[in-house]
Chains A and B, each alone.
Chain A
Amino acid sequence: MSTADTVAAPTTGAATRGPRPAGRGRVAAVLGRHPVGMVLAAPYAVFIAVVFAYPLGFAVWMSFHDYFFAAPGAAVDRPFVGLDNYRAVLADPGVRQSFRNIGVFLVINVPLTTVLALLLAVALNRVVHARTFLRVAFYVPYVTASVAVVGVWLFLFNADGLVNSVLGPLAPDPSWLVNAGLAMPVIAVFVVWKQLGFFILLYLAALQNVPKELYESASVDGAGWWRRFRSVTVPAVRPATALVVILATITGANLFTEPYLLTGGGGPNGASASPVLVMYQRGIQQGQPDVAAAIGVLLVLGVLLISLVNRRLIERD
């Protein structure tokens, strides 16, 4: 290969490695530059196809058909119904309310989770004594089943619970979990408390990568704690913040267990019914999986949109 050839050649990595055996180009075009990588990724790709792509595709298909679960071999008709299921869902006040409810939940839960997780992670990062104990203490609610910890919250927030006993005449009437205005906020706070440990861990990992020199420079320049936090910590953990916000949004939008257990299947007058709870009622209890699938598709689209907006807002320079 002449020097002129080398200079004239495109400066891609592939082109600078010299001639390749015939047929290798076609393989590379399909499998990329590192076929072994594709081989290593194949099991996960199959897993994703089986447990994610196929069910998602099936749900989308279901939502456009008059579909119900049937016994194997039962002769059933499942005609294409176009957007009928979506029309039914959008016209259903119960479904619309569930989306409003989850909006309220996300507005409370996501910012509170993000701010508290960051502040507590920063504090835990500076703790010298009992560091492990404190981290475990925050993490325990996350790894404990909701079913188990809901009992504690019922003990706290029932009409004759501990919180109302402390508040005395200031206790809300109707009480927290049967108050249309308070049921969803209480659930949002419960979920913040329960999931905080996981998000604290994400921030703690991100904080390990913030160079100490940045803090030292800021201190030399006379920056106080708040200024260092705002100008060094917050920008440095921005990718973690994006992840926390997106994960909190996704898990929050899929809320089911807490309203089901805390407020007895949708709360006062449906005030704490979430879209997933309504999907469960329609799809499993009432035998309308096609309608449930339509709700699910709308929920996925909504979460995708919110996550996209969040990412754009948080990651913008």
Chain B
Amino acid sequence: MKRTLPALLLTAALAVTAGCDGSGGGGGDAAEANAARGPIDVWLSNNQEELAWGKAMVEAWNAQHADQKINAQEIPAGTSSEEVIGAAITAGNAPCLIFNTAPAAVPQFQKQGGLVALDSFDGGAAYIAERTGQTADQYKSPDGKFYQLPWKSNPVMIFYNKEIFAKAGLDPERPPLATYDQFLAAARKIKSSGAAQAAIYPAPTSEFFQSWFDFYPLFAAETGGKQLVEGGKAQFDSPEGQRVAEFWKTLYTEGLAPKEKYNGDSFADGKAAMAIVGPWAISVYGNKVKWGAVPVPTSTGKPADQIRTFSDAKNVAMYSACKNRATAWDVMRFATSKEQDGALLAKTGQMPLRTDLATAYPDYFAKNPAYQAFADQAARTVEVPNVPNSVAVWQAFRDAYSESVIFGKKPVPDALGAAADKVDQLAAGS
């Protein structure tokens, strides 16, 4: 008897699971949902500045639409927003809109049947194209549709600590950081002078997204705007990709960038002389650091107005659990109107993905010249590729990068070549 009960339970469990594949029936009447209006739920980022903007936006909407009120809340806590959203899609309790959808997660959410194609609304694609211009094309899914509305970007640049640079004998107003050679020379000077513990300190950990803040911005700049994967093929196993990887490898090999995770913000704490981040950090560094910002370096020192970088964008997406999609679509347009984009810019310093960004808010940029460079850079950003197995693609790349560039266990060309083969397979959907 002592083994009979467990055996019976397991057998029953297998029988039950064999009988259900978990997939449901039809997806309900999408056309009906697309035309329906009424109250909707939205999730906002838990970043304080963004939350303040979101609450004000919701208040403004609710004041004008008593019968279609928005109920807003922060994204529930979790390891990452993407995991929480993925779980909500599976459970069928995702809100109508999430104002914090990562482009890298969109292919997965789409595969889960969790997103609504915005092209299904009258003038949907046209609205996106008009607001964001050609940049919007990067956010199209392989089926040619938009499952996300390009919302805001944080174009990544090099922040540098002026005091540390001066201490190291480097010009704090015109720092020599345009070419790889200049950058390395400056980094060596910082280190050898003892002005800072590290020249630059990108996270050397293995999470799939970490390459967005070391390799990818420089790769975008070096290639003139190539994505990691284009036309279903990996692009990083190329002379440009190898140059970028070797540049970072030199920083790690010479101890100019530490190989160990830093618990905190190394730039804000004065441990690192440089950081590679977007304009969201300006309000964070505030008065803690006397900082300057320059475009990411290239091997030849391209002019600033030709340099492209990683966008670090977050978008708005509509989720298929939404019943009142017509209202949700109206809210999407309301929240990305010129007025609301201006409010977002003022409250967060993040760049709305608009073609007319620099000209739409002249007063703001006149008052906040520090943000002007980011506004210029926002027009030249590169997004993560919208391909199947997107996260797995980035993890495969990160593993190879970690092995060859950070820890030097494998020659860079071999590691990038092997990773490219794997990425090609993953991007093909296998």
Measured CB to CB, the residues of A under 8 A from B are 32, 45, 48-49, 52-54, 56-58, 60-61, 65, 67-78, 94, 151, 154, 158-159, 174-175, 177-178, 180, 263-270, 273, 281, 284-288
Contacts and interface: CB of A to CB of B under 8 A. Distances in A.
A4 B321 CA distance: 77
7 contacts: A49-B12, A56-B10, A70-B114, A72-B92, A284-B86, A285-B395, A287-B108
Contacts of B5: 45
A287 B25 CA distance: 21
A57 B16 contact: yes
A70 B206 CA distance: 27
Ranked 5 nearest A-B pairs via Cβ: A74-B113, A57-B13, A264-B205, A72-B92, A61-B17
B203 to A, nearest CB: 7
Judged by DSSP, the binding face of A is: loop
Given A57-B17, A69-B89, A265 B258 contact: no
Contacts of B77: none
Given A60-B14, A74-B27, 12 more contacts: A48-B9, A53-B9, A57-B14, A57-B17, A61-B14, A71-B90, A71-B94, A73-B24, A75-B24, A180-B407, A268-B259, A269-B409
B391 A286 contact: yes
Nearest to B80: A285
A159 B1 contact: no
Which of B27, B113, B208 has most chain A Cβ within 10 Å?
B113
B114 A71 contact: yes
Interface string B104-116: 0000100111100
A75 B395 CA distance: 28
B112 A159 contact: no
A266 to B, nearest CB: 4
Nearest to A277: B206
Interface of B: 1, 5-6, 9-10, 12-14, 16-18, 21-28, 82-83, 86, 89-92, 94, 108, 111-114, 203-208, 258-261, 263, 320-321, 389, 391-392, 395, 399, 402-403, 406-407, 409
Contacts of A154: 263
Which of B26, B112, B114, B208 has most chain A Cβ within 10 Å?
B112
A87 to B, nearest CB: 13
Contacts of A70: 22-23, 89-90, 111-114
A64 to B, nearest CB: 9
A249 to B, nearest CB: 20
Which of B9, B12, B111, B321 has most chain A Cβ within 10 Å?
B9
Contacts of A78: 21-23
Contacts of A77: 23
A58 B17 contact: yes
Nearest to B392: A286
A77 B92 CA distance: 18
A61 B21 CA distance: 9
A281 B395 contact: yes
B399 A68 contact: no
Given A69-B89, A267-B206, A285-B208, A74 B263 contact: no
Given A71-B114, A73-B28, A265-B207, A285 B391 contact: yes
A266 B89 contact: no
B403 A269 contact: yes
Contact of A178 (B203, B259, B321): B259
